[in-house]
Every structure is written in structure tokens, then in C-alpha cells.
Structure 1
């Protein structure tokens, strides 16, 4: 075999191999590059242009112009990674706009003198998997929290049920129920106000208090049938407000139009009527917290189920 034939046979496969490498590079979402950190000279394989959503034949010469395809919020970390490349290797993840949609890419390389050599590659599938795993983890964490809360609620209910069954003194019994209500609802403080009929009409008397000293109510008049309190004392339904100060029912009644100065700070508000077996309204359990948005649907549901068996006297 002649040397000429050897050369000819050697050149043709080389060209075909390079073409196959380019095709494989494009198909796998990988592209090689070189970047001179001093001169800013930017050389890249066609696959890099495709990753950035650019035509290999029309792509700009400078890396700065390529950065226009990057998500603005990622530019800072790309610049930091390039600077870090001066000391050795670099790795960065960022997004580029391609076909009207942002795609995740990663860049990885090593420095040889002043030249940074490496690859860019698509990490979209990995990011989608990470997002799904994060969603699964968040769901699992939420479920674990729910199970812990349910376990705690059952412990409180069982403990309270035993205490109520053994207690003969009515005031002590109601205090147990009030204390447990504060714990179950996540309130800072709670109180049971008793419906009392006096010669001068209907009144509401503080019977038990939990989470605050009784002196906190010593200088305040008892609740009246205002728009906020009426559903509770009439037994028509639960009242829950994420922020009672912003509630349209709040501050509508004379003469106080809201809480008096020095009142316990209440933003989150939950009130549940306590009804006897015969259907009469005994009073209401009221729960408060100084932060808004404390009482959830779950807390309301627990309290409604909890109060029903508690109101037996």
C-alpha cells in the first residue's frame, strides 16, 4: 500500500469523525469553548451557539454580546465564575433565552495559563428533576408536620378527656377546657365568657382565662353583643379573622369602637360558641394572638370538634 493511499485513507475518516463529533455534540447538548482571560478572545464549537439559541454562522465574536442571551439575574454569578477561573477551574449554572423560553445551562472548565478551556452543556432535565424532588421533599415535610400536629392534638384531646372525666368542680372543668383550647388552636391566650341573665338584661361574664392574668380584664367592661361578638353569644357560628383590626365587623359599635387602650393585643381572632346538649348557648370560647394570620382552617375545625363534646353542662 502506497504512502499516498495511506494519507488519503487517513484524511477521509478524520473529516467524517469530526463531523460525527459535531453531530454528537449538538445532539447531547454539549459544546466546547476557549476564552482568553486577557485578550477576551472567545472561540467556541458550533454546539455552544446552539445552546445559546444562536446560529453558528451568525453568532457574534465577543462573549459580552453572547451574554445578552443570558438571564439578567444570572449575569453576576457568570462574571464571578469567570474571574474565579483565573485561579484554576470554574463552574457556573445559568439560564439563557432560547426559542422564547429560558433554558438551564452549566459551564465548567480549567485554566491553562490565561486561557480558560471548558464546555457548556444543557442541565434542563436535571433542573426539572431537582424541582420535582424539591416538591416531593416539601410535600413530605408538610405531611410530617401535619402528622406531628395531629399527634400533638390527639395527645391534648386524650389528656383533656381524662381530666374532664375525672373533674367534678365546674370551674376547674371549664379551666381545663380553656387551657386545652389555647394549646390546640395555637393561641397566646383564651377565655370563656359565660352568658348570664341579669335583672337589667343579658350580660357576658368572664369565667376562665388562660395565657394571661385575670387582671388584664379587671378594668374593662364585659363584652357586649357587637357585630364581632354576636354570632358567638347567639350560637349562630364560629368567627375567625386573620386580622381583627382589618375585619369589617370591627369597631362599629359605640362607645368604644374597638379595643380600649391597654387591652390585650389581638390581631388573630377565633371565637367558638359553647352550646349545651339542650341547645342553649352557654357562652363562648375566645382565642387571640398578637400576630395576624395565626388561626388556620385546621385550627378552626379542631376547635369546633373539640368544643362540641366539651359543652355538656
Structure 2
């Protein structure tokens, strides 16, 4: 049996209008949902610069190319990885450059290079990275990031930030300020004029959604034939309290450094002959929300740029059962020198 339903003109118009209004409401709601997912940093005095490729060897020149009338500049690729040469070739360990931020504060410019252990972030994840950086920059009052070496005893501070994900969960973040200070520019190194550099790595590993920070390894190395490692610190393995050490050699005065390791211990794994400083920081009780460490090396350079390599490995436990090793990859830092 076939049933036929016949509509009059007015009834048909009402149905069509009803359907149209329902679709319109759905579109408005969908637009509102999409709007809430868009990066809010676009509307908060930020200036965006879209790039798909960045060379760290040219990063010192980026400042002159950017209009710094606004407070914050973000170089990004809509959450996708940006091709770069920050890592030693073949040693990115699954990490990708996601963004670079320039935040101007008075006469200083804070530059931070942001990495993640996946090649694409959602808009919300990218937004969180940028806002976290802005919050940190506004809280900091010291350590201006200088753009170039000017003389002996001048320094360059390079800041790197990693977001470590376990699947879609942000487990931990790691932020490192690498301070490279030229202690002498005309020392005699094995009969050859050269420079003496102190390099320290001030790092903060923070637990986000991970349940425990187990340990963190930090490595600073100089691998070129025209470079030599003179000293490193901490040179002793210890636990608790304040760690103090001196970097010496190169015919220049020693420099003293210290940092607090309450709640965890440090194991020295450095090697002068292999030209690296390496340390293991361990949380034996699993209760520390963060590791704050600041080891360093003294090295020499007799020609060209001074190049130092940095890497970290962090062990984080998830759901009280799964331990993951998050590696930063090997960052190669190029500093103009001779």
C-alpha cells in the first residue's frame, strides 16, 4: 500500500523555513565552537610570522628583519614542523621545531626556540606553548638575551623549550638557558691564539601530566679539532644541598658556580679526553615536581665560530607504571668568535 502525503504551499514554506533556521543555528554554533579552538594569541598583541624553514645560523639576523613595535612576535607554521638546522644532522631524536618567539621587554629581546616530540601540534597545543612562554617572560626580570658577542666577558644566552608528549598527553616540559660567556679572546692555547669560553646549561624539567620524574641526563660537548675541553662541573657526585664548582684553565681566572639539588642527586659522567661534560640527576623518592640544574664546562677555540652541542634525556613515568625516555636531540649552537 502506498501512502501519499500532500502539503499545501503555506505548510511547505513553514517546513522549509524551519529547516533553514535549524541549519543556520547549527552553522552559528559550529562557528562558535571553531572560534573557541582558534589560537587566542592572535588577538593579544602578538604579531605572527609564518615560515616553513629557519636556519639557526641566520637567527641572529632575524631580529633586524622583524618590526618590534609590538610586544610579542611568533614565528610558526600553524602548528606544523618548521624545517631547520638546529639539530646536529640526523640527531633530532623525534623532535621538531614548532615555533620561535621574540618577546621585547624594554631594551631587551627574549628569544626562545620551541620544540616538540611530534611533528604537528593542534591549535590549542600551539596556543598553550606560546602563552606559557609569555607568562614566563613576564615573570623574568634578569638574564637579557644578548644578540651578539661584543668583547671578552660578554655572553650570549640561547633559550630552548621542549614539550614532551605521551600520545596526546603533555607529560612534561623542559626549558634550558644556555649561557656562553667568552672569558678571554686572546689566550694562548698550545702555542696558538684562541678564545676561552664558559658554557652553562640552566635547565628546568617540570612534570605536567606525568606521575613521576625519574631522572635527567645533561650533556655539553665540544667536538671540533680546534676546540679543547679544559674543565667541567659539578666534578663530584653528590646528593642534596647546594652544589658548588669552579671552571678553570686557559690562563684566565677561575669562575665559581652553584645550584641547589635538594630532593635529588647528581652523578658526574664527564670525560676530558672525549671532550664532554655529562651528568645524571636522579629523584630517588619520586616526589619532585621539577628538576632545576645548572652544570657547565670551560672550553677553548682557536679558529672560526665556537660550536657547542647540548642534549638532554628525561625519564618520566606515566600512570604510575609506564616509564618513557624523552630525548631532546642534539642541539648544535653556533657562536661567532674568531
**Structures share a fold, TM > 0.5?**
no
Query: RCO higher in 1 or 2 (8 Å CA, sep ≥ 6)?
Result: 2
* TM-score normalised according to structure 1 size: 0.29
Structure with more of its chain in strand, by fraction: 2
* TM-score normalised according to structure 2 size: 0.27
Q: Rg bigger for which structure?
A: 1
